[in-house]
Amino acid sequence: MWAVGSQLDRISAQLKSNSITSLFLPSFISINSSNINQLLDALSANTSLEELYLVDHNINKDELKKVGEVIGNHKSLYKVSVGHSKIGECVEELSGLLEGVLKSKSIRVINFSKQSLSGDGLKTIKDVMMVNNGGELHEINLADNQLTKESIPHLIEIINANPQLHTLELGENSFNTVTDELVESLSKSNIKKLVLNNCPIGDHGAVAIAKLMSNNKSLQQILLNNCDIQELGSSHIGNSLVSWKGSVFSASYNSSMFHHLFNDWDQTKLSELHNQGVLSDIESISLKGCMIGDQGLIKIVKGIKHFPRLKVLDLANNKLTAKGIESLESILLGPDSTIKELNISFNHLGKEGQDIIHNWIKSGELVSLDSLYISSIDLEFLDLFEIAKSLGDCNNSIKFLEAMNTIKPKFDEEVEKEENEKEQNDEEDDEDEEETIEDQFFELENTLKEEKSIKIKWM
Question: How far, CA to CA in Å, does 118 sit from each of 24, 68, 80, 311?
Answer: 26, 21, 20, 39
- CB of 245 within 8 A of CB of 217? yes
* Mean pLDDT, residues 294-303 taken together: 90
Average pLDDT for residues 320-348, to the nearest whole number? 96
Containing 442, the helix (H) or strand (E) segment is helix 424-452
Q: Map out the domains of the chain with their CATH numbers.
A: 320-413+451-459 (3.80.10.10)
| Residue 343, helix vs strand vs coil | strand
Q: How confident is the model at residue 414 (pLDDT cuts 50, 70, 90)?
A: very low
Closest by Cα among 334, 389, 343 to 367: 334
pLDDT above 60: residue 425: no
Total Cβ atoms within 10 A of residue 381: 17
Amino acid 242: pLDDT? 86
Residue 5: the pLDDT is 62
Residue 110: φ, ψ to 5°: -135, 135
Q: How far apart are CA 326 and CA 322, in angstroms?
A: 6
CB atoms within 10 A of CB 65: 18
Q: Which residue has the higher pLDDT, 110 or 30?
A: 110
CA distance 120 to 124: 6
420 confidence band (pLDDT: 50, 70, 90): low
**Is residue 225 predicted with pLDDT exceeding 90?**
yes
What is the structure's pLDDT at 132?
Answer: 78
3-state SS of 136-172 is CCCEEECCCCCCCHHHHHHHHHHHHHCCCCCEEECCC
Query: Which DSSP string corresponds to 351-389?
Result: HHHHHHHHHHHHTS---S--EEE-TTSS--HHHHHHHHH
Give me the sign of the Cα torsion angle 282, 284, 290, 294: positive
Mean pLDDT for 20-38 is 92
Q: What is the pLDDT of residue 277?
A: 72
Picking from 100-109, 266-275, 327-336, 360-369, which range would have the lowest pLDDT averaged per residue?
266-275
Q: How confident is the model at residue 44 (pLDDT cuts 50, 70, 90)?
A: very high
**Per-residue pLDDT band at 434 (split at 50, 70, 90):** low
Percent over 70 (pLDDT), the chain: 91
- Give the whole-angstrom CA distance, residue 92 versus residue 89: 9
Is 0.95 surpassed by the pTM of this model? no
Let me know: does 391 contact 360? Beta carbons within 8 Å: no
Distance CA 307, CA 284 (A): 10
Mean pLDDT of the chain: 90
**Cα(344)–Cα(346) distance, rounded to whole angstroms?**
7
Res 382: pLDDT: 87
Side chain identity at 219, as an amino acid letter? Answer: L
Q: Which amino acid is at 264?
A: D
Q: Is the pLDDT of residue 297 over 50?
A: yes
